Homo-oligomer: A and B are copies of this chain.
Amino acid sequence: MTKKTKILLAEDDENLGRLLHTFLVNKGFDAVLAENGKIAFRLFGEGDIDFCIFDVMMPEMDGFTLAKEIRETDKKVPILFLTAKSMKEDKLEGFSIGADDYLSKPFSMEELLARITAILRRIEPHTHAESEVLTIGTIKYEPESRVLHLSDGLKKLTTKENELLHLLVKNENEILDRNATLRLIWGDDNYFNGRSMDVYIAKLRKLLKEDPAIEIMNVHGKGFKLVAK
């Protein structure tokens, strides 16, 4: 049994939001509805989102800004924008951010479904995570169940350990921006959260120490980078 595709839906119009949510759940998706961009960003940080549908115009944080923030730490998750009308400017801006598709209101539910399935089909099959098992060097890691397979048994990670490690692994060999990570996991990139993050980096290094090929390296003033030779 494969895991359901989890869709993050950001729509401020209450009626449309509920309608979409119900439709998606009916079609077999696991959908979460956020009423504005800020809430959506927080939800993205928590859950394991497979797909995004963002209304462009929303209060608090618009769809484009939201997408930009998310792209700081996740370069792959598909994003589909909903625009109020056929706006060429918006389309251009959206595609440059890394949008996967567009839908101009009004649209039919069937059309939306067609776009979603089309995007999901052309993405690597393993991307819709079905209790995925990742590999860090020689160590197995299951982000869903927050378990690390160490030589002396299983290690159950805490929420923060898991969120940080998952981000590092997803961005393997790339710099994980310090402030973007803080905003995503801690909600704010202030000094103390930064120190907290450093403490977690130390924890993770200790856990991953058993494979000497794994290194969480610091990039001074920028962030951290996970490399496994």
Contacts and interface: CB of A to CB of B under 8 A. Distances in A.
A145 to B, nearest CB: 6
Contacts of A41: none
B227 A71 contact: no
Nearest to A92: B91
Contacts of A96: 101-103, 115
Contacts of A118: 75, 98
Contacts of A144: 173, 227
B128 A173 contact: yes
In the complex, the count of this chain's copies comes to 2
Given A71-B114, A114-B71, A220-B158, A145 B229 contact: yes
Contacts of A150: none
A72 to B, nearest CB: 9
Nearest to A89: B88
A159 B218 contact: yes
Interface in A143-167: 144-146, 158-160
A117 interface: yes
Interface in A89-110: 89, 91-92, 95-96, 98, 101-103
B98 A92 contact: no
Contact of A159 (B98, B101, B121, B219): B219
A27 B117 CA distance: 33
A121 B76 CA distance: 8
Contacts of A65: none
A203 to B, nearest CB: 14
A170 B201 CA distance: 32
Given A98-B114, A128-B174, A159-B218, 4 more contacts: A75-B121, A131-B229, A145-B229, A159-B219
